[in-house]
A and B are shown apart, each in its own frame.
Chain A
Amino acid sequence: MSEIQYLEGKQPDPREHRMIFRNVDRVGWNPSIDRYLEDGGYEQLRKAMDMDPQVITDEVKKSGLRGRGGAGFPTGVKWGFIPPKNTKPVYLICNADESEPGTFKDRYILHQDPHQLIEGMVITCLAVGAHVAYIYIREEFPEAAKTLETAIAEAKGKNFVGKGVLGSDFDVEIHVHRGAAAYICGEETGLIESLEGKRPYPRIKPPYFPAALGLYMCPTIVNNVESLCHVKHIIGMGGDEYAKLGTPRNTGTRILCVSGDVKKPGYFEVEVGKVTMRELLYDMCGGPKDGREFKAVIPGGSSAKILRCDETFTLKGQGPDGTDKELSFWDIPMDFDSLAACGSMAGSGGVIVMDDSRKMSWVLNNINQFYAHESCGQCTPCREGSTWMRKITDRIVAGKASPRDIDILESVAHQIDGKTICAFGEACSWPVEAIIAKYRDELVADTKPENAEAALNPEAEAQRRYLQKA
């Protein structure tokens, strides 16, 4: 690893463990297949070709890999859900919709290292018995879609993809399919509907679990870009070896994307659970901007519940001998289970940071606008509720709300949460519930016109001018 050089100003932090992002910003790197092969590319596929499909799945199970798309579901277990007596075709879909606000990791894999993804996908196809795979990529990545098309053509040219992969009798085709700027296409069943050429209305689960009834009602495995890349490395080092990275139940590496009010925003690939919030935000991101203090952090994409930087959490039964353990915000390890225990989630790895110049009513309003715009409209609580929540926070920001509005806002959120077809319902109500739970006084204070008038920063001012034109 020591010989790898990175571009000036883009050197990884010493605490990083670059595996998936090994080639991102690398000097002398390019997305061509020749460069990838020079670096030992497609060796893991060769290895997997000699393995029994069940053994590949078992290795992935042993690795403990959990999905990097948001839900953190164990990847190998998901693959095992394909009905054993299935006679229909099996499909693999790579979820490259990357649209959860705060998340920016798949972008760099897709643009800079497409063959890593393709190799991971072909290995996954071997494991699950898929002969056709689709990469569903968001429309706003036009360059990446071209890069992928080129890479797939190159891989076909060298027989890593196509008929009789590497001289075997295994056929696999990969197609790139562009979305059309709708967030809900990231939800796996919405994505499947979209791929079928329809509006991306999510399907209800049960019965429509994609592994059993997915694309064209056939078994379909949907995995995130980053998850599929990990598969290649698991085959390379073996499931047990991979599981030594990170912490128990939270294995491997993952890419954390930090944005907002820090000195040095960016992406950091770390062993899961091996860095704390303090190390991430102070040591790796350079701390708050000059003269500012950290106020709040959304740790896993905008749907994740917000955490206050001055909070302390009580983790039930996690101390020595099953006692409760106290954990301050700054000591939270960045892993799935710890963030869940603190009432939020690791989600998609998007860490959004706010300092003391931000008003929570403004932050919430921005988030509410996103969800009101992106609700697919199928379920009444979500369609109407997301718009009501936006309208209420519009009013707060415009200085036209009353303290009672905060209660109404909270009650609307509770009427969405858990009552919808897909998890967008939670995604749009959790930010509201969490911000009210943690910043109620500030929100109530903001309902006084003179407080809402006193904007703290020019960005909020610009957005408010914009809203007042409405």
Chain B
Amino acid sequence: MSEAVLKELVASPETPGTKHFPPFKPTDELEAEATRRLAQFPDDHKRSAVLPILHHIQHHHGFISAEAIQWTADRLGIEPIKVAEVVTFYPGFRQSAPGKFHIRVCRTLSCAMGGSYELMDRLCEITGIDRSSLDPHHHPIAVSPCGTWSVEFAECLASCGTAPVCLVNDDFHEGVDADKSRQLLDQYAKA
């Protein structure tokens, strides 16, 4: 039983975004990053490097797959479950591919007052994303049918004075009223 539960826990269902990300494969670059990060912690606390290693993997592969969990566990000399429990807890880690451009819209109070729910509505309208069947309470990611875009609600991004705000991949955008949605997406569509 436990084996099946574990398999499901680390499964990565395909999404339209999968095609934009190379499947996980250990690279020299990843190995170098792991070595650099491990040097930042005492030898008997290798586990501390788990977040930085997972960030590196997610940055290059879009999400954390079962293979990535296994590799990380082996590299740190810990049980795979100890990596899996981290991946499943933190909203910052994904277990399936987002779109090529992942948009995180802040939904917390000041941004909501500034119109961030309307921004989300408009972005979905333009990109053809249907969030209606999603459970609104877990901030699931929704990917557009073409795989170019994905959206997710984020909690306060610490820029409440310039609401509404969002992140597109690693780029921060402020004062993004719903009317500016098209403009925002165009910046990336051309890229």
The answer on A and B forming one complex is yes
Q: How far is the CA of A343 from the CA of B10 in the complex (A)?
A: 46
The 3 tightest CB contacts between A and B, nearest first, are: A180-B92, A181-B92, A180-B90
Residue numbers in B under 8 Å from A257 (CB-CB): 160-161
Q: Which residues of chain B have C-beta atoms less than 8 A from A141's C-beta? A: 158
Contact A198 B114 (CB under 8 A): no
- CB distance B109 to A352 under 8 Å? yes
Q: Could you tell me if A216 and B156 are in contact, using CB atoms closer than 8 angstroms? A: no
Give min CB distance, A204 to chain B, whole Å. Answer: 19
Those of B130-181 within 8 Å (CB) of chain A: 131-132, 135-139, 154-163, 167, 170, 172
Please tell me if the beta carbons of A178 and B55 are within 8 angstroms of each other in the complex: yes
Q: How far is the CB of A398 from chain B (nearest CB, A)?
A: 12
Given contacts A197-B51, A366-B112, list 9 more A-B pairs with CB under 8 A: A101-B109, A194-B51, A197-B47, A199-B86, A259-B161, A302-B108, A352-B160, A367-B109, A462-B115
Can you give 5 contacting A-B residue pairs, CB < 8 Å? A138-B158, A173-B40, A195-B48, A363-B109, A459-B114
- DSSP majority for the A interface? mixed
What is the distance, in angstroms, from B164's C-beta to the closest C-beta of chain A?
A: 9
A182–B48 CA distance with the chains assembled, in angstroms: 17
| A390-B137 Cα distance, complex, nearest whole Å | 9
The reply on B85 being an interface residue by CB < 8 A is yes
Residue contact B90 to A182, C-beta cutoff 8 Å = yes
Q: Are B104 and A101 in contact (CB-based, < 8 A)?
A: no
Please, how many angstroms separate the alpha-carbon atoms of A367 and B107 in the complex? 10
**Which residues of chain B are within 8 angstroms of A390 by Cβ–Cβ distance?**
137
CB-based contact A181/B47 at 8 Å: no
Check A181–B163 contact: CB distance below 8 A.
no
Bound CA–CA A352/B170 (angstroms): 27
Contact of A99 among B51, B113, B136, B156 (CB under 8 A): B156
Whether the Cβ atoms of B161 and A258 lie closer than 8 Å is yes
Alpha-carbon separation in the docked complex, A181 to B89 (Å): 10
Q: Tell whether B31 is near chain A: CB-to-CB under 8 Å.
A: no
Name the contact of A373 in the complex, choosing from B40, B155, B172 (C-beta under 8 A).
Answer: B155
Q: How far is the CA of A358 from the CA of B110 in the complex (A)?
A: 12
* Chain B residues within an 8 Å CB radius of A179: 51, 90, 92
Interface string of A197-208 (1 = CB under 8 A from B): 111100000000
Pick from A173, A178, A467: contact of B51, CB below 8 A: A178
Q: How distant is the Cα of A99 from the Cα of B42 in the complex, in angstroms?
A: 28
Contact residues in B for A467 (Cβ distance below 8 Å): 136
Interface string of A449-470 (1 = CB under 8 A from B): 0000000001100110111011
Chain A residues 160 to 219 lying within 8 A of chain B, measured CB to CB, are 173, 175, 177-183, 194-200, 216
B71 within 8 A of A: no
